[in-house]
Amino acid sequence: MKEKNYISELITQYLLRRYGRETEEKVQRWLIDETHAAEKNRLLEIYWNTIPEGASRQTYASLAEVKARLGMEYAAPVATSRRLWLRIAAVLLPFALLTGSYFLLKNQPVKTDSVVNISVPYGERREIRLPDASTVFLNAGSSIQYPVSFSKEERLVRLSGEACFSVSKDVARPFIVETEHLSVEVLGTEFNVKAYPDENRTTATLNSGKIRVETKTAQSYILTPNRQLSYDTQSKHITIASVNAEDYSLWKEGRLIFDNMPLSEILSAVERKFDVSVRWDNAIDSANRYTVKFVRNENLDEVMKILEVTCGFASHVEGKVVRLTKN
């Protein structure tokens, strides 16, 4: 039953477009996989039957856009097929508008009988409780995977994105966070890990206790409180610096703290927090570094106005898109 509930939740959130762009692509691949096809088809049929017949002009316009991208002729549906087309639009538009092609709903997910997968869409944050009573606060655009029950030897979780961990002490079972480039091992502590796949830096920042950070090449480093290890995923270079560790977990409260950070990473954080897409022209150097703090839960307009002054560009918000031009 837990597995079916997970499949239902994943499909429902996807069709409601509650995931970030990268997560949506992963869900698409999951949907067209053959695993658990029967259960996914059943749940999609349930959703299909709940779609109302009513349609706006925008519904038909969106469907026409999708069919045009696919090179298909389109005419407004006649009465006998009207409900069918509206259902197809409601179910397939989340796929086609993102990828430009229809995906056959063969369907499939991940193994959920023994593994839990949680993803947080852009614009949201989520706190979860692990089987050992440790807590994890996931930032926007992040996902975590962990077993339903930890083994007797270790407590292993896999992270993509950013999370702040508060780990229950268990000397007999080390707590390990695996990312694409680093693994962090602890016994009981508080720390923050940032490992977004679209950024060139993976960081581990220690609030309290002690952690061991290891690279894929078996380089190992011990961190003490208020120390941060930063791994450049391109150059493979590692730096360890003293920081105010609390600043790097303030995102849990909706705050944004950037300390000598490339503009590209700042804008990525803005995208995740406000669920928008930021685009800029070539005249803007996204590698330039800036230090700026947003500690009053500023809204998108307020954040962009401050960045305009700090970084020397003009911004224009158009719905879910923020366009930047050089001053």
**Domain presence at residue 109:** no
Q: Are residues 18 and 135 in the same domain?
A: no
The CATH number of whichever domain residue 206 belongs to comes to 2.60.120.1440
Same domain, 275 and 239: no
Is 107 contained in some domain? no
**Contact yes or no for 252/164 (Cβ under 8 A):** yes
- The pLDDT of residue 297 is 85
| Structural domain contains residue 42 | yes
Asked, for residue 201, whether it belongs to a domain, the answer is yes
Over residues 31-43, the pLDDT tens digits come to 655 566 666 666 6
CA distance 35 to 28: 13
| 158 vs 16: CA distance, rounded Å | 26
Judge if 93 and 130 occupy the same domain.
no
Question: 144 versus 71: which is more confidently predicted?
Answer: 144
pLDDT (tens digit per residue) in 213-265? 999 988 999 999 999 999 999 999 999 999 999 999 999 998 899 988 999 99
Question: What pLDDT, on a 0 to 100 scale, did the predictor assign at position 29?
Answer: 61
- Domains held by the chain: number: 3
For residue 158, give its domain range: 118-248
Domain assignment present for residue 294? The answer is yes
Q: Is residue 113 part of a domain?
A: no
Residue type, 317: V
Q: How far apart are alpha carbons 154 and 277 in whole angstroms?
A: 39
Query: Is 90 in the same domain as 156?
Result: no
Report the run of H or E that residue 127 belongs to, with start and end.
Answer: strand 126-129
List, in order, residues 6 or more apart from 192 with CB less than 8 Å away. Answer: 162, 163, 164, 165, 203, 204, 205, 207, 245, 248, 249
Same domain, 30 and 82: yes
Domain with residue 258: its CATH number is 3.55.50.30
Integer Cα distance of 55 and 68 in angstroms: 19
39-45: long-range contacts, CB 8 A cutoff, minimum separation 24: 39/3, 39/4, 39/7, 39/107, 40/7, 40/11, 40/105, 40/107, 40/108, 40/109, 41/105, 41/107, 43/7, 43/8, 43/11, 43/12, 44/11, 44/91, 44/105, 44/107
Instruction: Report if residue 152 sits inside a domain.
Output: yes
CA Rg value for the chain: 22
Instruction: Specify whether 163 is located in the same domain as 234.
Output: yes
Domain check: are 131 and 86 in the same one? no
Same domain, 180 and 198: yes
pLDDT mean across residues, the chain: 78
User: Where does a domain end: 248, 270, 286?
Assistant: 248
